[in-house]
């Protein structure tokens, strides 16, 4: 690890203030494959940070851009779950310095807007969820073949170098292994935080998790960490049950195993005592199933999976009238710059195990293979190494 940092120290010498040419995976338009291109990365402007990416995870959200289910401008460099080292900083940057190990943050924390100042808020006003594709000053730092290339969710990590606003980067412990802690930049934190921060799972409670992908498994880890005594995993794919049990589920069921509605099945299984449910799929039907499955009076249901854009939900208001709480969360309700370094420290203290979530590690040039693994359901998380 020290050797790695020393190499990067030499690597960084002489590049500050200059345009860096490097390799990146560019999406020229939706529904087209990645194209590995040589791009130019401009130096960071005021309050910006240029980062050398060490490892980046492949997340379903990146795939939404390819498929056109998430708004983005093209051409674009996607990727938003990574670990890197600060190569250089722009004027006025005070929270990181060259050589720091960092995680770029798709959810910024400016510490000044209403959401940042509220103890329960985290959806910073600087978040780019509408697909603007530029940094805070309204411009991009990437060019390829003479054309500007857009940023993605304040991060853009499918490139050897990226530039982010200072509010979108967190300094982490130097000892953290990049190929593991990159998951704390999105998937793990989203699920884990949904349980401990948004759901506020209480010790001894019964929790149900709908959807056992990487984020669903992270929800299970959060429920276990919070002291839940019973954690039921639900998925149509029974191949996922073994891994769910390994990270803390006490039992797993498939909705196809019964003709009864899943809420009835769960009520019978638990003696009508489901305190918390988590929908980690992003389907409208399962959101209502999850709501109906928690206790009608004191149950809490959390929407974790990103819902399909431009779709409306119809449900029986009686589900809420009896006392249930229905909540959503982005990034598990966590405040990114504050909480990401803490989670890395907890990982180093062995409070949770990220190895369970990483099924494949590939060189960056095999990015298309990584997305094939995602779409065929063979991977939980694939991490690309530079």
Tell me how far CA of residue 208 lies from CA of 1, 187, 211, 232, 386, in angstroms.
39, 19, 10, 5, 37
Q: What value, to the nearest 5°, has the Cα angle with vertex 334 and ends 332 and 335? A: 150
- Residue 192 and residue 327 share a domain: yes
Which residue ranges in the chain fall short of pLDDT 70?
1-13, 310
Q: How many domains does the chain have?
A: 2
Neighbours of 173 (CB within 10 A): 12
- Residue 317 and residue 197 share a domain: yes
Strand ranges in 133-260 using DSSP code E only, listed in sequence order: 142-144, 147-149, 161-165, 169-171, 206-210, 230-234, 251-253
- Residue 378 and residue 325 share a domain: no
Condensed to tens digits (0 to 9), the pLDDT of residues 25-64 reads: 999 999 999 999 999 999 999 999 999 999 999 998 899 8
DSSP 96: -
- Domain membership of residue 56 (yes or no) is no
- Residue 285 and residue 232 share a domain: yes
Can you give the residue range of the structural domain that contains 379? 354-385
How many distinct helices (H) and strands (E) make up the chain? Answer: 12, 17
Condensed to tens digits (0 to 9), the pLDDT of residues 221-230 reads: 999 999 999 9
Neighbours of 349 (CB within 10 A): 8
- Residue 293 and residue 323 share a domain: yes
- Domain membership of residue 34 (yes or no) is no
Q: What's the pTM? A: 0.93
- Residue 328 and residue 363 share a domain: no
User: How is residue 167 written in tokens?
Assistant: 């509010």
Q: Supply the DSSP string of 5-65, one letter for each residue.
A: HHHHHHHHTTTTTS-EEEEEEEB-STTS--EEEEEEEPPP-TTEEEEEEEEEE--HHHHHH
């Amino acid at each position: 690890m020290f050797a790695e940092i020393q190499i990067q120290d030499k690597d960084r010498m002489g590049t500050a203030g200059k345009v860096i040419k490097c390799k990146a995976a560019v999406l020229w338009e939706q529904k087209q494959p990645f194209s590995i291109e040589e791009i130019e990365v401009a130096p960071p402007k005021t309050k910006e940070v240029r980062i050398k990416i060490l490892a980046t995870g492949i997340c379903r959200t990146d795939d939404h851009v390819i498929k056109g289910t998430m708004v983005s401008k093209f051409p674009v460099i996607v990727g938003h779950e990574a670990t890197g080292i600060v190569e250089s900083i722009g004027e006025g940057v005070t929270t990181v310095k060259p050589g720091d190990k960092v995680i770029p943050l798709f959810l910024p924390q400016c510490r000044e807007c209403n959401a940042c100042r509220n103890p329960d808020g985290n959806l910073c006003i600087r978040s780019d969820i509408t697909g603007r594709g530029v940094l805070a000053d309204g411009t991009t730092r990437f060019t390829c073949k003479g054309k500007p290339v857009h940023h993605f969710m304040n991060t853009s990590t499918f490139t050897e170098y990226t530039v982010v606003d200072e509010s979108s980067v967190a300094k982490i412990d130097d000892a953290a292994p990049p190929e593991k802690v990159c998951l704390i930049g999105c998937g793990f934190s989203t699920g884990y935080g949904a349980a401990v921060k948004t759901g506020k799972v209480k010790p001894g409670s019964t929790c149900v998790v709908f959807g056992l992908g990487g984020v669903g498994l992270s929800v299970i880890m959060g429920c276990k960490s919070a002291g839940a005594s019973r954690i039921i995993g639900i998925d149509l794919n029974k191949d996922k049950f073994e891994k769910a049990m390994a990270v803390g589920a006490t039992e797993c069921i498939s909705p196809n195993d019964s003709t009864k509605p899943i809420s009835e099945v769960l009520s019978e299984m638990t003696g009508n005592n489901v305190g918390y449910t988590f929908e980690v799929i992003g389907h409208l039907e399962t959101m209502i199933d999850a709501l109906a499955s928690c206790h009608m009076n004191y149950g809490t249901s959390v929407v974790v999976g990103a819902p399909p854009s431009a779709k409306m939900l119809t449900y029986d208001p009686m589900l809420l009238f009896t006392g249930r709480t229905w909540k959503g969360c982005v990034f598990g309700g966590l405040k990114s710059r504050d909480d990401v370094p803490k989670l890395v420290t907890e990982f180093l203290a062995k409070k949770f195990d990220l190895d369970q979530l990483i099924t494949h590690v590939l060189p960056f040039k095999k990015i298309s293979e990584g997305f094939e693994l995602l779409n065929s359901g063979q991977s939980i998380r694939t991490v690309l190494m530079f």
